[in-house]
Structure formats: C-alpha cells, structure tokens
A and B are shown apart, each in its own frame.
Chain A
Amino acid sequence: MKMILWCFGLLMSLVVSANDLAVDEIVQRANLASFYAGDDGRAEARMLIEDAKGNKQMRQFVILRNDLSEGGEQQFLVVFSRPSDVKDTVFLVHKKVAADDDRWLYLPALDLEKRIAASDNRTSFVGSDFFYEDVSGRNPAADQHQLVGQDETHYHLASVPKDPTLVEFARYTMKIDRQTFLPMLIEYHDAHDRIYRRVEVLAVDAVQGHPTVMQSKVSNLQTGGHTLLQFRGPRYDLGMEESVFTTRSLRNPPRTWLKAQ
C-alpha cells in the first residue's frame, strides 16, 4: 500500500509539475514526507545547542516512531543517552490529530513517571531551539496555507494560524522542495512581522527510498542561538510492535530497538 502511494505520489509530481498543485495537497505531502516516512522508523539523534556566545550543550537520544495511520495518529518514544546525567530519561508521545497529544515522561534519577499536559506544543524540546512541535509535527490543519509562488525547485507557501492565541508567530513561510516535498526552509514572523525564527534542512539522504532529513538547524534570531540536529542510521519499516510505545517502556525501554539496527 505504502509503495503504491509512493509511486502514485511520484507520478503525480511528474504529471503536475507543469501546472500547479493545489496548496492543500502540497501541505499534505510535505507533512507525510517530513513525519510519516515508512510505517515505523528509528534513528539516533544528537543535538548541538549553541548560544550566541558559543556556549555548547548536547543532547543525544534514540527516537522510535510508529504510525497508526498515514497522516494521522502516531506514537513516539524518545530515550536519552547524553548528557550522562539525563541518561535513560524517556519521553512517550501518542500524537493525536484532532485532540491534544498524550505525553508521558520518565525521570530515572527520581524514578518518576509523569503525565504531561501542555496548553500548546510550542515549548522548547529539552532546552534546544527546536520546539516539541518541530520534532513531532505540526498539524497542517491548524493553519491557513497559501501558495504564494514557486520556482524550479521549490513551492513557496505562506501560512497563518487559524487560532493565533495558541502560537507565538503571526505567520510563517515555507520553501518546499518540489521533488521530495520536504520543507527546506521555514521562517516565522512575529506580530511585528519580524522574522525571529528559522528552520532549515541542511542535508537529505535517501533511506530505503525515502528522502530523509539527516541534518537540520533551527535558529533563534532573537537570542542569536541555534541548534543543529543530526540523525544517524535511520531505518524504516522495522516492524516494531505497538507494545514498544506503551507506558511500560518508560521504566523499561525496549533495549533491542535502541541498539543500532
């Protein structure tokens, strides 16, 4: 099924490359390309958080993902390995489309399992310049999208939030690769229409046929800091069971899946 969809997508992109794709379709495919490659996936990730003065921090974790439906609900398990004092800290997320996500947290030093409720998903992901939402994916239906232009390589989109009270941006623009449908550059504008945040894809590899972001960067233009996110050894369609993504994994992370595949 996946394969058929993929081929269909490829075909579509060839067919419609001359004329315009509907903006909703672009957004939909960008969403799929960014967050739904394969039926499940696994990657080792590391972050280098650097502030304006060159201070550096790192985060290293394994991220496991399982899609319940294409473009719909997903499950994530994030297990930290560095820095050493947060080793084995675990995040579990059951991503919903129509409702708030379910989120859990396990802190090994306090042997504490906790459910997290958040009013919005635009909080920092463990102190980096990435937002929680940048990692798990923002619901495309939350914004009103408009195709404002295109060139040989990219679609240019401008988006405004449907409910501006839930987010800190007034609008954002995206440059989406016409081939891979990966958003290569996203820029967020504040209420005074200043660009204050930039998300860039720096490297893309084809992994098992899926164009996969290997390196991306978020810059906070207000603080002057940025975070580099690198993936290593991404693998798709591993056949991970749903049981991997239950609260039982908080205290007992699935060691087999954490190891390089």
Chain B
Amino acid sequence: MNPERLTHLVLHHPKKIFIGLVLLTVLTAAMMPLIQVDTDPENMLPENQAQRVFHNQVKARFNLSDLIVVGAVNRSEQGIFNPQSLQALLTVANQIEAIEGVIAHDLMALSHVDNITQQGPGTIRFEWLMKQAPVDQPAAVAIAEQVARLPLLQNTMVSEDLKAASIYVPIADKNESHRIATEIQTIIAGVGSTDEYHITGLPVAEDTFGYQMFIQMGISAPLAGLMIFVLMWVFFRNLKFIAAPMVVAMATVIIIMGTMIGMGYTVHIMSSMIAIFLMPIAVVDSIHILSEFVENYEADEDRETVIGQVLNNLFKPMLFTSLTSSVGFFSLLLTPIPPVQIFGAFVGMGILLAFVLTLVFVPAYLAVLKPAALQSLRDIHHSRSGLLKGVKRLGQFSLTHSKAMVLLFLVLLAISVLGVLRIQINDNPVRWFKAEHPIRVADRVLNEHFAGTYDAYLVLESDRQSHQQQFMSQLADGSAAEQEMTQLLQRNPDFTAALTAWLFWAEDQLFAADDAGVAELEPLMVAAEQTLADIAAFKQPANLAYVERLQQALQDSGLVGKSNSLADVVKTVYRELMGGAASDFRLPPTAAGVAQALLQYQSSHRPHDLWHFVSQDHSSSLIWVQLTSGDNQDMSLVVNHMDQFLADNPPPAGVSVAWAGKTFLNKVWQEEMVMGMGMSLVSAFVVVFVMMVVLFRSLLFGVLAMLPLTLTIAFIYGLIGWVGKDYDMPIAVLSALTLGLSVDFAIHFLQRARDLYQETNDFKQTMQLMFEEPAAAISKNAVVIAIGFTPLLLAPLVPYITVGFFLATIMAVSALVTLMMLPALLKILVRWAFGVQR
C-alpha cells in the first residue's frame, strides 16, 4: 500500500471516516448484551479432547454430579458430635435438599445416608444413620461411633478428629453453583448455629470466579482507559489533541469485543482481559504519530504536508511493530487451549485494527482540528521530562562501559536460565482467589479436617467387546432371536441393557408357546445369562482385590487423603453380614458372594448410591480419590505414582485403568498449556526474527532486535523460578505475547539509529541523537503500556493481578534492557552494523 495515497484519501474524506467509525462501533456495541460468560476450566480443553470426552463419559456412566461441599466445624472439646450441632446440620441439610437445582436423592449428609449395624446376635439392622438429631450427648457420640465403622463416610462426611462434618451437595448444572452457594449461605445464616460453616468445591470456585470476572471487567477496563488518558495528558497537555488516541482505543476495544461476542464466543477468563490488553497497545501508534507531529508542527506550515511527512516516516516501523505485536498474540493459536486461542486471535486482530484506525482516523482528526486547538502544542516538544534525563544518563553509561554491560547481560542470562530450570509448573483454580477470600478460607479449613475436597477418579474398565461378539455369534442369522436383539440394540445401543431386555423377550416366547422352534431359545438364554455374568467383571473377587491394591497404592503415594471404592462397599456389607467383627472386613470368596452382599446393599434407602462406584452391568468400576490439594503438581505426582504402580502391577487381563475427574482434567490442560506455550513462544520467536531480518534487510540487525527481549523474557521467567512463584496459566500466556510487544522497542531503536547514522555518518553523534527524541518516544511508550496494565493490580482475582504485575514489569524491563543493551552492542559491533571503522 502506498502511504501517500492513503494519507491523501484520508485527509480529504474526514466526515466519511468519522461516520463509518461511529457506525461500526455502534453496530458492534449492539452485540455486547449477548455476552455469555464461561468460567469452566474444563473448557480449557477442546470439547473433543480425549481425556475430556472420557471424563464426561465417566460422569455419565457413574451418575456423578458436580459437588458443592458444605463443612461445619466445631472446635470445642466435644467437637461436632453434640445434639445442637447435629440438629443444625440436619436442618441445614434438609433445607439444602429443597433448593432448586440440587440433586436431592444424591445429597450426602449424616441425615441422608443409611447405616448397617448389628442388632443382637444373628441380626443385622438397616436404618437411616441420623433421621432425627440425637437428643443427648451419648446419642450424639453413638452416631460418631457408627460413622467410624463406615469407611465410605469416615473422613469424608465426618472428620477424623470429630470436629467437623460435611454435606456434599450435588448440583445439576455447575453454572448454577454461585446461586446455590448463596442460597446455602442464607440457609446457614437462618439456622443460627454457633458452629463455623464453610462452603467450597471447584464448581463454586469456578462460578464465583465468573461473577467476580464481571466486576473485574467493570473496574479494570475503565480504569485502564482513565490511566492512559491521564498519561497522555501529562505528555501532551491538550485535551482535544489526545482525544484522537482515546477514540482509537475505545473504538478498537468495542469493535473487537462486540465482534467476538457477536460471533458467539463466550467470555472466558482470558478473553475478559482483551479490553485491558488492547487499550494500551492501541494508543502506542498514536503516541508515535502525535509525538512526531508535535515535533514537526509549526502553525504557519501546511498541516497536510506535516501529517503526510509524519505518516511517511512512521508507516514502516508502525506496520512492523503492529505486525510483530499481533504475531505474538496470533502465536497463541498454536496452543491447544481454546480460550487462549480466542484471546490470541482477537487481540491480534485488535492490534491490526488499531493500526488501521490510527492510520485512518488520527490524521483525519488532526486535519479538521481548528488551529487554535493546537496552539499549546508548540511549547511541548521543548520541555524535557525527568524521565528523559534518566534515560540519557543510562545510555551514556552503557556506551562508556559497553563491554562490562555485555558481560553483565551474559551473567544475568546465565542466572536467569538457572532460574528458568527451577520453575515449578502448577495451578489450582481455587487459588485464583486471594488468600483471604471465603472460598480460600473454606478450602484451607475443610482440607485440614477432611480427607480432601478435591476429586479425581480412577476408573477401571473390563473388556465387554469379546463377550458381546461371542454371544452375538451364537444367534442364527435371520432367526427371531437375532432380529429381536438387533431391534433392541437399535433402541438402546448398550449391549447389556439390550441383552437383559432380550432375556425378558425370550422368556415371554418360551412361556407363550411350546413349539420346537422356540425350544431353541433355551440354550441361548443360558448363554445370555452366562454372558451377563462374564461381563460383570467387578463382581469377581480377584478384580475387586486389584481395586483394593490400587487404593493401597494411592494411599502410599502420600498425597491422597482417602479413596472410596466398590471394594469398600462390599467389605462393609460383608463384615456386617458375617457378624460385624473387624476380621470380617474383607471380600467374599466368590462372585456370587459379592453379588449377594451387594443385593443387601441395594435393599437400602439409597440403592442408587451403588452406581457411583460400579456400572450397572458391573463391567466398569470407579475409585473416588479425595485429595486435600487441588494443585496440578500434586495431581501429577499421584498420576506418576500410579503409573509406576500400574507398570509394576499390571491390571488383571482385559481390565484397563484410566483417570478422570476435575482435578485430573486441570492437570491435563495445564500440561497442554505448557507444551502449547512452548510452541507458541518458539514460533513467535522465529516469525518475529524473520520479520526483523526482512525489515532491516540484515541478519545482524535481526539478531540484535531479538536480543533485548530474549534477555527480558529469560530474566522474568528466571525471576519466577528463583522466587518460587508457580508457573500457572496467566504466567504461561505471558511469554509469547510479551515477545511481540517488547520487540517494538528494539525496532524503533534500531530503525532510528540506522536512519540517524545515515544522516550523520558518525556513531557517537548518532547515539547522542538517539537519546534525544527517539529514546524519549520509546520510554513514553513503555510507560504507557506498563502503567496501562497496572489497574489489573486492583482486580479481586489473582490471575489478573499476576498478568498486570508481570506485563508492567516486562514492559519496563524490556524498554530498559533495549536502551542499555543495544547501544553497548552497537558500539562493539559498529564495524559490522554500520560497515565502517570505529
């Protein structure tokens, strides 16, 4: 594109441009009410990602719901087991049951579960554990003693120290958890217990996060706008003048956000930061134009000529800085995390849009401003800020100590690399809240008392396929039996459901008629029953024994609070059937023994509880793993520990073992994120490097342009490593995009240094001139971007604070490094850089 023609066009059609911009902004702003917030960390993985798909299959197979955990703590001597506390707990549980969206029949509380006990010799008793609250202290203690005999409840529903009890509240829709948690709070307040009540669980954390995200967007984005406005005013002290970049910034943000929402993308934690990212970046080009304009503008001069000249000078560096910045963001598309991709894509487009708007709108606006409005500008470019003096001294220092500087940078790089190697990759959505947030407090308290509020599932599956094939092969083609089976499978593709229904059908046939054709059914029915028995792998004591060993291995990892399984259910029932002695807490000797014990478990008030641990055909079983920590790191350690165990102790033939659960999924996307970010960083680096070589038409300048930001990024991540801050989602995202942003400084520095050297043909003089206006513009830009992100520090949520802090730091450090490193390097390399003797 020819910048001169563009300028000409722009300057002669200001009205059309203004109207067009207003129309576009209004149109996209109109889409904003369609906003949909998404805070589900599961969406960090693509919908068809294998582990996510499996996780959801497991949830469906075992009727697992998202759980809100309500905990009551009584720190007194007698603990939670006193009549008042238990009455309060019962009342709370009964009221929670009635909340819309709570899956009442799966609610777990002392008042809602069954007990199985001995009642005299030879008699077992089934009853609700706590249908009514106990009337006196001994009765309360008796309930505690009962719980101690029920491994599924102990340490899950009641803490081992007897100070705390919990209510597990399953909810139908995790997007409702903030509302439900709020209603639970009201219920607790209404009951007026003196016990401490806490509410936690990943769904609450996620949904509450979404709620606070809105607050953050409402606060941080306008604040960033205000901050940038104030800074611009400090630089130019002319309201009408700086209105132009503000309009560009606002229009960019509105158009991009409106388009994103209009296209149906949800606003995720990442995309909620788009506004705050775009605002400072969008004004950077304007600052260059305005600075240059101020420098060259004289009232008597023809304004068009000045504008044309400014644009001509700046078009190339602006294009390249915009391109490199957007490349940094576009590189996020290589990370297989959809919210990160959307964020990268829209910020990248936003940067290009801001570039276009700056080129089109700012000149048109300057052209129509009345001369009087620009009167005050003439005084500005002569004023010299304290910032510039400092920058100048810095430049002088690195020029005189160029070799020492290079050495210093090398040492810094080495230390940084060591720091990078120490980086701990870790994240935990609950830690996205500040330490004093009620959710964090609840998380801490409840995990101190209980076996853990973080869930993962170890899922065992046995091979059904071979049994299915074997049975199907016995059905004669075209026979009534085969036709019926085919029909049943069409209605419900689940083989065991179809086979059960087929048995019913076969029996009806047998009963209805007794001709010879039907008699063939009898052996088939025997085969069908055998097939159902064969498929039921998790009635086999051997397989359940393996489940026990897995549980022992989980416990041995030292990171698992507790695990619950079908084996625990079977052993508990078996013990009570056999008389209740601790020595009978073991598996029955035969599959029929297991089946008959389970038949008793199912004769309870809550038979459906069984299906959380085993599929209805008993071909798949689940171990519920409770962790006291939701850190990805801890989950990884458990997974590694179990991988080792599985390698040393392979499962029985035909049985496979795999992980599911929210805590596990968080670990999965964290890993994908780290891998993906590595890809993004490398590719952004390569692309930007190539662009630099092309821009400067010099390999050396290309390398020089990359050096400051390389050191900066290494330094920042080294710092994270040394300080011991976890490398989490926000930190990971920063790497690639800061690369695109911080290379701007080097581009401007090198481009201007080259131009100046061409004019002066003297390196010393070039450097002197460099630390006048060009260094000032670079510092101004660094300050605008760095300070533009600081409102994030006021956000109520940790990831925003992290992003704000590190982006500001990276911008400041990389401007500093650019201004110190490039003069020193240029001095050393002057012969190759400028092709002359020093």
Asked if A132 and B122 sit within 8 Å, CB to CB, the answer is no
Asked if A123 meets B126 with Cβ closer than 8 Å, knowing A58-B503, A110-B596, A165-B131, the reply is yes
Contacts of A48 in B (CB 8 A): 500-501, 504
- Is B26 part of the binding interface, using a Cβ–Cβ cutoff of 8 Å? no
Name the residue on A nearest B105 (C-beta): A222
Please determine whether A116 and B500 come into contact, CB atoms closer than 8 angstroms. no
A254 to chain B, nearest CB (A): 21
- Separation of A82 and B532 alpha carbons in the complex (Å): 11
Interface stretch, picked from B255-263, B605-613, B625-633, is B605-613
User: How far apart are B378's CB and chain A's nearest CB, in angstroms?
Assistant: 77
Are A85 and B616 touching (Cβ within 8 A)?
no
Does B578 count as interface, using CB distance less than 8 angstroms?
Answer: yes
Residues of B within 8 A of A3 (CB): none
Taking a contact as CB atoms under 8 Å apart, the answer to whether B607 and A124 are in contact is yes
Query: Residue A54 contacts which of B494, B595, B596 (CB distance < 8 angstroms)?
Result: B494
Cβ of B123: which chain A residues have Cβ within 8 Å of it?
114-117
Taking the nearest CB of chain B, how far is it from the CB of A123, in angstroms? Answer: 5
Residues of chain A with a CB closer than 8 A to B616's CB? 51, 55-57
Q: Are B125 and A107 in contact, with the CB atoms below 8 A?
A: no
B595 touches A85 (CB 8 A): yes
CB distance from B514 to the nearest CB of A (A): 13
Contact mask for chain B residues 585-601; partner A; CB cutoff 8 A; 1 contact, 0 none: 00010111101110110
Which of A56, A112, A192 has a CB less than 8 Å from the CB of B501?
A: A56
CA distance A236 to B502 in the complex (A): 30
Contact A85 B592 (CB under 8 A): yes
Pick the contact of B603: A51, A112, A127 (CB < 8 A): A127
Selected from B511, B595, B611, the residue in CB contact (under 8 A) with A51 is B611
- Docked complex Cα distance between A125 and B574 (Å): 19
Chain B residues with CB under 8 A of A192: 98
- The one of A53, A127, A222 in contact with B599, judged by C-beta atoms closer than 8 angstroms, is A127
**CB-based contact B539/A55 at 8 Å:** no
> Within the assembled complex, what's the spacing in Å between the Cα atoms of A53 and B603?
21
CB distance from B234 to the nearest CB of A (A): 62
A85 nearest in chain B by CB position: B595
On chain A, the residues within 8 Å of B604 by CB distance are: 123-124
Contact present for B125 and A223 (CB under 8 Å): no
Question: Quick one: which of A50-71 are within 8 Å of B by CB?
Answer: 51, 53-58
Bitwise interface map of B from 105 to 136 toward A, beta carbon under 8 Å scored 1, else 0: 10000000010000100111111100110000
Whether the Cβ atoms of A107 and B596 lie closer than 8 Å is yes
Bound CA span A223–B170, Å: 13
Assembled-state Cα–Cα distance A19/B600 (Å): 48
**Contact (Cβ within 8 A) A86 B131:** no
Q: Does B226 contact A (CB under 8 A)?
A: no
**Nearest chain B CB to A128's CB is how many angstroms away?**
8
B60 at the interface (CB under 8 A from A): yes
**Chain A: CB-nearest residue to B593:** A109
Main secondary structure of the interface of A (DSSP, over half): mixed
A110 and B605: CB pair below 8 A?
no
Encoded as 1 (CB less than 8 Å from any A CB) or 0, chain B from 697 to 708 comes to 000000000000
Find A117's partner among B60, B119, B607 (CB 8 Å cutoff): B119
Known A123-B604, A126-B602, A192-B98: A117·B596 in contact at CB below 8 Å: no
- CB-contact partner of B577 in A54, A114, A124, under 8 A: A114
Does A202 make an interface contact (CB < 8 A)?
Answer: no
Residues of B within 8 Å of A54, CB to CB, are 492, 494, 497
Q: Are A112 and B578 in contact (CB under 8 A)?
A: yes
Residues of A with C-beta under 8 A to B588: 109-110
**Set of chain B residues within 8 Å of A118, measured between Cβ atoms:** 125-127
Q: Give CA–CA (A165, B611) in the complex, Å.
A: 27
In the complex, how many angstroms separate the beta carbon of B654 from the nearest chain A beta carbon? Answer: 19
With A58-B500, A115-B123 as known contacts, state yes or no: A85 contacts B105, CB within 8 Å: no
Given the interface pairs A56-B497, A223-B608, the reply to whether A86 lies near B595 with Cβ below 8 Å is: yes
B779-791 interface bits toward A, Cβ cutoff 8 Å, 1 = contact, 0 = none: 0000000000000
Contacts of A110 on B, CB cut-off 8 Å? 574, 577-578, 588, 593, 596-597
Q: Does A211 contact B (CB under 8 A)?
A: no
Q: Are B592 and A86 in contact, CB atoms less than 8 angstroms apart?
A: yes
The residue of chain B having its C-beta at the shortest distance from the C-beta of A232 within the complex is B511
Interface residue from B127, B574, B591, B608 paired with A85 (Cβ < 8 Å): B591
Q: Is A122 an interface residue (CB 8 A)?
A: yes
Closest partner residue, chain A, to B536 (CB atom) = A85
**A84: min CB distance to chain B, Å:** 5
**A193 nearest CB across to chain B (Å):** 10
Which of A56, A118, A220: most chain B Cβ within 10 A?
A56
User: Is B104 interfacial (CB-CB < 8 Å)?
Assistant: yes
Q: In the bound complex, what is the Cα–Cα distance between A54 and B578 (angstroms)? A: 35
B600 contact set on A, CB distance < 8 A: 105, 107
Q: Which A residues are in CB contact (< 8 Å) with B674?
A: none
Check B602–A165 contact: CB distance below 8 A.
no
A5 within 8 A of B: no
The yes or no answer to B148 lying at the interface (CB within 8 A) is no
Q: Which residues of A contact B285 (CB under 8 A)?
A: none
A57-B500, A58-B504, A83-B532 known; A122+B595 contact, CB < 8 A:
no
A114, B122: Cβ atoms closer than 8 Å = yes
Q: Given A132-B603, A222-B105, are A120 and B127 neighbors across the interface (CB < 8 Å)?
A: yes
Tell me whether B603 and A123 are in contact (CB under 8 A). yes
Q: B38 contacts the other chain (Cβ, under 8 Å)?
A: no
Q: Which residue of A lies closest to B502 (CB)?
A: A56
Contact of B128 among A85, A117, A119, A232 (CB under 8 A): A119
Q: Are A109 and B592 in contact (CB under 8 A)?
A: yes
Q: Which residue in chain A gives the minimum CB-CB distance to B511?
A: A232
Q: A107-B577, A127-B607 are in contact. Are A55 and B494 (CB under 8 A)?
A: yes
| B448 proximal to A (CB < 8 A) | no
Distance A165 CA – B345 CA, assembled complex (angstroms): 60
B569 to chain A, nearest CB (A): 13
B568 proximal to A (CB < 8 A):
no
A116 to B602 CA separation, bound complex (whole angstroms)? 14
Asked if B617 is an interface residue, CB under 8 A from chain A, the answer is yes
A108 at the interface (CB under 8 A from B): yes
* Closest-CB distance, B682 to chain A (whole angstroms): 45
Contact B602 A84 (CB under 8 A): no
In the bound assembly, the distance between CA atoms of A51 and B494 in angstroms comes to: 13
Kindly identify, within residues 36 to 94 of chain A, every residue whose CB is under 8 Å from any CB belonging to chain B: 46, 48, 51, 53-58, 82-86, 89
Q: Which B residue's beta carbon lies closest to that of A109?
A: B592
Determine how close the nearest CB of chain B comes to the CB of A83; give it in whole angstroms.
7
The 3 A-B pairs at the shortest CB distance, nearest first, are namely A127-B602, A109-B592, A119-B127
Sample (24) of A-B pairs whose CB atoms are under 8 Å apart: A48-B501, A51-B611, A56-B497, A57-B500, A58-B504, A84-B529, A84-B530, A89-B596, A107-B593, A109-B588, A110-B577, A110-B578, A110-B588, A114-B122, A114-B123, A114-B577, A117-B123, A119-B126, A122-B605, A126-B603, A127-B610, A165-B132, A225-B608, A232-B511
- A residues near B, CB below 8 A? 46, 48, 51, 53-58, 82-86, 89, 105, 107-110, 112-120, 122-128, 132, 165, 168, 191-192, 220, 222-223, 225, 232
